[in-house]
Amino acid sequence: MIPVQGYDGQMVAVLGLGRSGLATARALAAGGAHPLLWDDNPAARETAESLGFEIRDLTRLGAFEGVSCLVTSPGIPHLYPEPNRVIAAAWDAGVPVDNDIGLFFRSLGQDDWANHETPPKVITVTGSNGKSTTSALIHHILTEAGRESQLAGNIGRGVLDIAPPGDGGVIVLELSSYQTDLARALTPDVAIFTNLSADHLDRHAGMGGYFAAKR
């Protein structure tokens, strides 16, 4: 797990309790934050509550009082075709909105990377087509070459679920436009853009918005 840094003792809301949402909640708690979880699905809320997390109805008035950040799952639209009401309420309350990718880059390397003889590296892969194949191929080549490599993001494990990289380790992330669009921090050592073709245009309001999300 990559513990989320920068929110020690603060309340952080998490919207969407699928794989990435629950991983985010665990990583926030590991970093000392107090996660407040919400999902429109009652079964998802019950699962999170059974794991010991606090549930807060983020749709109610005043839900963001005292909250430092809202972390949303990538499948939840924040602008198009229309803003999610919880995300809109967070913005109205002046609360920044991020996702697990942004938290990952915010947190990675803050603690002990200075102790590595060879600092770990992050490779990101995005594009309309070929992301999974390219990411898996890079991971395979690194592994066959004897390098420590972890594959995560839109493929493999959630980005905050991986183990902290060791000396000279490499993290290969496949990133969709849904993940890159909202991340408040995105600073890989190597970024690969495979190609661009018309896709997810309703989510990004056309090719211009789609390209901007991929950049």
- Domain 11-98: give its CATH code: 3.40.50.720
Tell me how far apart the alpha carbons of residues 163 and 106 are, in angstroms, rounded to a whole number.
16
User: How far apart, in Å, are the Cα atoms of 157 and each of 37, 152, 174?
Assistant: 21, 5, 10
Answer positive or negative: Cα dihedral of 3, 6, 9, 10: negative
pLDDT of residue 110: 63
Q: How many Cα atoms are found within 13 Å in the side-chain-facing hemisphere of 214?
A: 24
Structure tokens at 155: 């493929």
Residue ranges, CATH 3.40.1190.10, the chain:
109-214
In this predicted model, which residue has the larger pLDDT, 208 or 168?
Answer: 168
191 with 215: CB under 8 angstroms? Answer: no
Q: Which CATH architecture has domain 109-214?
A: 3-Layer(aba) Sandwich (3.40)
For residue 204, name the pLDDT band (cuts at 50, 70, 90): very low
Q: pLDDT tens across 126-182, in order?
A: 988 889 999 999 999 999 999 999 999 888 788 999 999 988 999 999 998 788 888
Q: 0.75 cut: is pTM over it? A: yes
Q: pLDDT tens across 19-58, in order?
A: 889 999 999 999 999 999 999 999 999 999 999 999 999 9
Task: Tell me: pLDDT of 16 over 60.
Answer: yes
Helix, strand or coil, per DSSP, at residue 132: helix
Lowest mean pLDDT among 49-58, 116-125, 157-166, 198-207: 198-207
The mean per-residue pLDDT over the stretch 82-99 comes to 93
The mean per-residue pLDDT over the stretch 106-113 comes to 72
Residue ranges, CATH 3.40.50.720, the chain:
11-98
